Structure 1
Amino acid sequence: MGGNGKHRWKISFRSSSSMPKQSPKEFMCPISGSLMADPVVVASGQTFERISVQVCRNLAFVPVLGDGSRPDFTVVIPNLAMKSAILNWCAASRVDRPTEPEYGSVETLVRAAMGSDGDDRFETSEKELLRAVPGNPPVMFSHAATEVNHRPNHFYSSSSEESVIAAVPATPLPLTTRPSCYSSFSSSSDEALSLAVTLDPISSEEEEILGKLKSSEVHEQEEGLILLRTITRTKEDLRVSLCTPGVLSALRLLLNSRYGVVQTNAVASVVNLSLEKPNKAKIVRSGIVPPLIDLLKGGLPESQEHAAGALFSLAIEDNNKTAIGVMGALPPLLHSLRSESERTRHDSALALYHLSLDQSNRVKLVKLGAIPTLLAMVKSGDLASRALLILCNMAASGDGRSAMLDANAVDCLVGLLRGKELDSESTQENCVAVLYLLSHGSMRFKGLAREARAVEVLREVEERGSGRAREKAKRMLQMMRGRDEEEEVDWEGVLESGALSQPRYRVGGAGKQHIHGAYSTEF
């Protein structure tokens, strides 16, 4: 292996036959030293192998890179453009596609680097995560308040966005860190039930709350949950302190309560605690996710709203994504996309968006038949923008692309663009982005795009669409013209000679090559 030979973390996970000596340096993971199979961009802008980032985060270690800088691992986004470039280079160089290195091998390597780099550790708060997000114009999301009593039907929201950092302009993917069942706004009735939360110090607050939560009396449980819910909504600085094993254990039991007030306030308290980044992994490890899934399946309507919001909030944390999928959250979240509650639908869609950033969850979603459901949502206009974001993630994997092509996604998306039925410029951008991802490495896409008469639609987007949409439309048109230009035929001469049934030849170049027809590619 060359081109990265001086890197102090260099390690080879592939045989010499599959790792060329002249691998481009930008295709190599700075930590593992191997050709990246699943490249991701971190908040500081560098690209790494996903496993390498996971190991560093699990070990709370921030390495020093070759240029003396330290990466920021608070945000991890798939680098689809880099992955496509690596796969294209492998195909052109006749090199085996890279495979993900083993976790244990990378862990050994990182631990060795930790020994030579001291005991540096890093912590990040949700505010730091938000500061790392580019300052794009906010997308408005419907938010419902977490009042103790019945909530009004008007919603308030503000959210942040993140953009996929890639070699080409990327479609903005919303990163909101507040589920729609949470709001900092409080009602007068809620304030009346705030129980005069002035307890001090924090140990006394936790002691009083735990005493009530563990009581056998239902009214004591209700008081304790109202107290916890009020504190964790109004006093953000106490959320981390109150997210203790004792509190989480009590909440896990109360989530299964048959009493509506207990059940609803317990799950709302989980939502509030989950808003702080340090709490997200603790909550998942405490065993609260299975009861949340049960509530999403058959809880009270308000409890279902909060359960969807809690799963969405927890799914933002990268280390939780696989675990939440393994515990069985994907089927009920898919079912909740059809919920009568708008809040449940919105938060379920955003939970699925974050969970579908994980490859293992994408595979599960394909097997669950999520693609037809999402395409139907796009066609009906119900949560179309959210559904398109999930489809963007699905199209980033081979299984997802195949399932989408099988489900006639190309014709569906081209039809939406042609009919101008999309409700916003960002939704149009997401629609074009899905088509762009489907076009990667797929000759089948060309045939389906021709059948859907996509060229005329893409030309219009190239001329009149937004910046990101125009760039992607231009690239797709170039891709679709590539083979046609390579096999250019003098059609006027052929028509004049009446030789339509005769063999056709490429015009220009050294020698003539036989072509079986204008559309000789088999799909």
Structure 2
Amino acid sequence: MGSGKQRWKISFHKSPSPLLLLKKQTHAQDQQPPSIPVEFLCPISGSIMADPVIVSSGHSFERNCVHACISLSFNPTLPDGTASDFSTVIPNLALKSTILNWCRLHLVDPPKPMDFYYAEKIVRKLIPQMPESELARTPSEISVASSEESVTPRIGRTTPLPLTTRPSCYSSSSSCDIEISGTNFSEEEELVVKLKSSQIHEQEEALVSLRKMTRTLEETRVRFCTPRLLSVLKSLISSRYSSLQVNAVAALVNLSLEKQNKVKIVRSGIVPPLIDVLRGGFPESRDHAAGALFSLSLDDQNKTAIGVLGALPPLLHALRSDSERTRHDSALALYHLSLVQSNRVKMIKLGVVQILLGMVKSGHMLGRVMLVLCNLAASGEGRAAMLDGGAVECFISFLNQGEFESEATRESCVAALYGLSYGGLRFKGLAKEAGAEEALMKLEETGSENAKKKVRRILEVLREKHEEDEDINWEELLNSDDDLSRTQSQAGGRTGSSSC
């Protein structure tokens, strides 16, 4: 009996009474809503963040707002006058925890993650406010591949280093906002009949017409992206006639420009013949195929599927293409696909590290190559392969040369080293051998604020003292790892570049 009272007392002291809770809730409802700390608000949406991320410039945003800005190639200038930099996106777990604790303390419902398409609408409203000179700096250029004027994503030589890019034919209005009524089924029917014709000239005429209609009109791109039309295009993409194959793939690129079409196209089964074209199609068709895979890879729902369907080997091989358009669009497709862990693992098995490091050493497409390497360095498998492949020495040599396409390229190099710095003693030994500390100290004085933060973190790793450091023979450690790497290479476990 006494123990029962004791239990009541313990229970009472451990948690407030229901009546007290009710009074607190009633009092909270009577009061004005709590003032939300400004650091909890996304600078783009103005809403409290549910999934905050911190970007290279040190600012925090709602994740999908960053993805929307990246997707639309838009770098907003913040109210304090500083420019945003989305070259690196890292979850801000500390801020997320702080926000959730604040919500619980003030009896506020925790925020829900923002839908990507809603975030994109918000960003689109900001774009017209930019100066015309800024709007003109799109990361892709419309390339007219033939007299039929198809649209293909193309990266210009003076392009600012892109994280993600859309072809510049995307207008400032979203096709998601367009209400389509009264669809002209007879027009689609007429196209399908001609495309299925046994006469080559009728098929070519229909494809040219489709390319023209889908070149600039968003509504037309949405209206013609139907299962029946995609099925016909799928068969024509594999045509042995150059004119049919080129026009069919180019028309597919135009259809893929609309966000709401991307998943639909991949689910139609059109990616495998597209990959076949990239492997061995006509030269102009390969340009369009690389552009189509790049465009389709922009949608997060497509990334894993495209990797599973076998696009990675031909895309890696296309980095050596004679066509600049094919090389650039393939590199950007690989960047987007490497955001997914399963694709990173596949790429490492295909020998991507040696391919990309070779391109860094030759100075070929540095900006885009560095972006892919940054993604690889963010995973354990990628770090191991890059450390074994000589990435640390390569990056330090690159920084010592001081010759960069742009400041963004140098920051990408630092970001890749930053990812590798999580490689433990292996990284520490390689960095010491490469003279990383001296190179990074120079960069700490001359680099951007974003680069300086990463450099400081890397230097902390290099200078961090462990008890076991005194007993480590760095030369012996490095030599033993080199022997292991050679053994793995002979076994074919790491350098499968021949499959490209």
Give TM-score, length-normalised by structure 1: 0.63
Match of 1:393 among 327, 351, 375: 375
Name the residue aligned to 1:425: 407
Name the residue aligned to 2:267: 285
Name the residue aligned to 1:449: 431
Determine whether 1:461 maps to 2:440: no
CA distance in 2, matches of 1:43, 1:302: 45
**Amino acid paired to 1:295:** V
Name the residue aligned to 1:347: 329
CA distance in 2, matches of 1:277, 1:363: 27
Determine whether 1:410 maps to 2:409: no
CA distance in 2, matches of 1:121, 1:253: 35
Match of 2:51 among 27, 47, 50: 47
**1:440 match: secondary structure:** helix
**1:339 match: secondary structure:** coil
**2:411 match: secondary structure:** helix
Q: Measure how far apart 1:145 and its partner are.
A: 2.2
Give TM-score, length-normalised by structure 2: 0.66
Match of 2:206 among 224, 230, 236: 224
Determine whether 1:178 maps to 2:167: yes
Determine whether 1:378 maps to 2:344: no
CA distance in 2, matches of 1:226, 1:256: 17
Encode CA deviations 1:447-502: one digit per residue, 9 max, x unaligned.
Answer: 1111000111101111011222122112211221121xx67xxxxxxxxxxxxxxx
CA distance in 1, matches of 2:158, 2:144: 15
Q: Measure how far apart 1:312 and its partner are.
A: 0.4
Encode CA deviations 1:190-212: one digit per residue, 9 max, x unaligned.
Answer: xxxxxxxxxx9632321221121
Contact 1:141–1:158 (8 Å) recurs in 2: no
Contact 2:266–2:302 (8 Å) recurs in 1: yes
Encode CA deviations 1:198-255: one digit per residue, 9 max, x unaligned.
Answer: xx96323212211211111111101110111001003122111110001100000000
CA distance in 2, matches of 1:371, 1:345: 17
Cα pair distance change 1:517/1:411, threshold 3 Å: closer
Cα pair distance change 1:391/1:227, threshold 3 Å: same
Q: Measure how far apart 1:149 and its partner are.
A: 4.9
Name the residue aligned to 1:166: none
Name the residue aligned to 1:361: 343
Encode CA deviations 1:492-517: one digit per residue, 9 max, x unaligned.
Answer: xxxxxxxxxxxxxxxxxxxxx99547
**1:243 match: secondary structure:** coil
Cα pair distance change 1:384/1:259, threshold 3 Å: same
Determine whether 1:310 maps to 2:292: yes
Tell me which protein shows more helix as a share of its residues: 2
CA distance in 1, matches of 2:469, 2:366: 46
**1:175 match: secondary structure:** coil
Bigger relative contact order, structure 1 or 2, given CA contacts below 8 A and separation 6+?
2
**Amino acid paired to 2:210:** L
Name the residue aligned to 2:456: 474
**2:163 match: secondary structure:** strand
CA distance in 2, matches of 1:252, 1:259: 14
Name the residue aligned to 2:252: 270
**Amino acid paired to 2:329:** D
Name the residue aligned to 2:307: 325
Cα pair distance change 1:144/1:520, threshold 3 Å: closer
Cα pair distance change 1:72/1:462, threshold 3 Å: closer
Q: Measure how far apart 1:125 and its partner are.
A: 9.7
Name the residue aligned to 1:145: 144
Match of 1:299 among 277, 281, 291: 281
CA distance in 1, matches of 2:210, 2:204: 10
Cα pair distance change 1:467/1:309, threshold 3 Å: same
CA distance in 2, matches of 1:245, 1:43: 39
**Amino acid paired to 2:445:** E
CA distance in 2, matches of 1:367, 1:327: 16
Contact 2:139–2:166 (8 Å) recurs in 1: no
CA distance in 1, matches of 2:281, 2:270: 15
State the superposition RMSD in angstroms.
Answer: 4.0
Gaps of 5+ in 2: 1-44, 54-61, 71-85, 97-113, 172-181, 479-500
Contact 1:139–1:159 (8 Å) recurs in 2: no
Cα pair distance change 1:125/1:277, threshold 3 Å: farther
Name the residue aligned to 2:184: 202
